[in-house]
Amino acid sequence: MSDTNTLPSTATKLVAEAVGTFLLVFGGVGTALFAATFPAGSEGNPLGVGFVGVALAFGLTVLVGAYAWGPVSGGHFNPAITLGLAASGRFAWKDSVGYIIAQLIGGALATTVIVLIGLFGPGDWLATAQDGGFASNGFGELSPGGFGLGAAIVAEILLTAVFVLIILGVTHPSRGTAALAPLAIGLTLTLIHLISIPIDNTSVNPARSIAAAIYGGVGPLSQVWVFIVFPIIGGILGGILHRALFEPKGSVPPARAEARVPDAR
């Protein structure tokens, strides 16, 4: 987009971030709640997608969201990514607050819609989903595999940093491959979920964690701070590492109002 008059407005970018985060949370958390163990109570569970299906759902939502709205807002859909891009010099710090607010709103709307659907579900579906934590992140007793706080901290810092490093690499203005960037990002998020769902149900995204914990009850709400603080630390660390390791001095692209997925057209 060479004509600056055609650049999206700030409001349009924020809407894109909210809609993209809505899709991510609705697709990922919705798959975990509606499809992972369907049909409920089935001993053999012949139809449920399991955690592999949930991992793919999160990756696919990011992939399609990045293609659809990446050229508008950059396709962050995640506060940790926004702050990581800012730390790398690819995104303006002053624009981070607006992006993060939009992402939190989009995520909360997604889980609210899931609750609305659940109200019309069979029997006690909604109560069961909420009693089970509403696909929230957790450690200790709330970890799918029984992993403790330390495991959650290490996983969230490391995997969020890796996610940011991949994003910065595949979207580099001169080294990245524009048409394939969303695919690489989506597959990376799928891999991250395959690794860490058993550890803490995978966050790497504070907006996703907050959105689920809102309806998850006292336990998830009491632990959600872990999935806010440590993905953000990991995201910022990833941005700093990318700048130190892969950007020769003086070659960092100037911070813009958006760090966009390269236009694939």
pLDDT at position 197 is 97
Q: Which of 66-80, 120-134, 241-255 has the lowest mean pLDDT?
A: 241-255
Q: Are 171 and 62 in contact (CB under 8 A)?
A: no
pLDDT in tens, 10-28: 999 999 999 999 999 999 9
User: Over 90: is that where the pLDDT of 178 sits?
Assistant: no
Q: What is the mean pLDDT of residues 123-152?
A: 96
Q: Return d(Cα 57, Cα 25) in angstroms, integer.
A: 10
Among 1.20.1080.10, 3.10.300.10, 2.30.40.10, 1.10.645.10, name the CATH number for the domain at 7-246: 1.20.1080.10
Return the top range by mean pLDDT from 42-46, 200-204, 245-249: 200-204
pLDDT at position 252 is 63
Q: What is the mean pLDDT of residues 230-236?
A: 98
Share the mean pLDDT of the chain: 91
pLDDT at position 248 is 73
pLDDT in tens, 62-82: 999 999 999 999 999 999 999
Q: Are 181 and 144 in contact (CB under 8 A)?
A: no
The crossing angle, in degrees rounded to 10, of helices 226-246 and 206-213 is 170
User: Over 70: is that where the pLDDT of 259 sits?
Assistant: no
Q: Return d(Cα 155, Cα 231) in angstroms, integer.
A: 9
Listed residue (174, 165, 152) closest to 84, CA to CA: 165
pLDDT at position 1 is 33
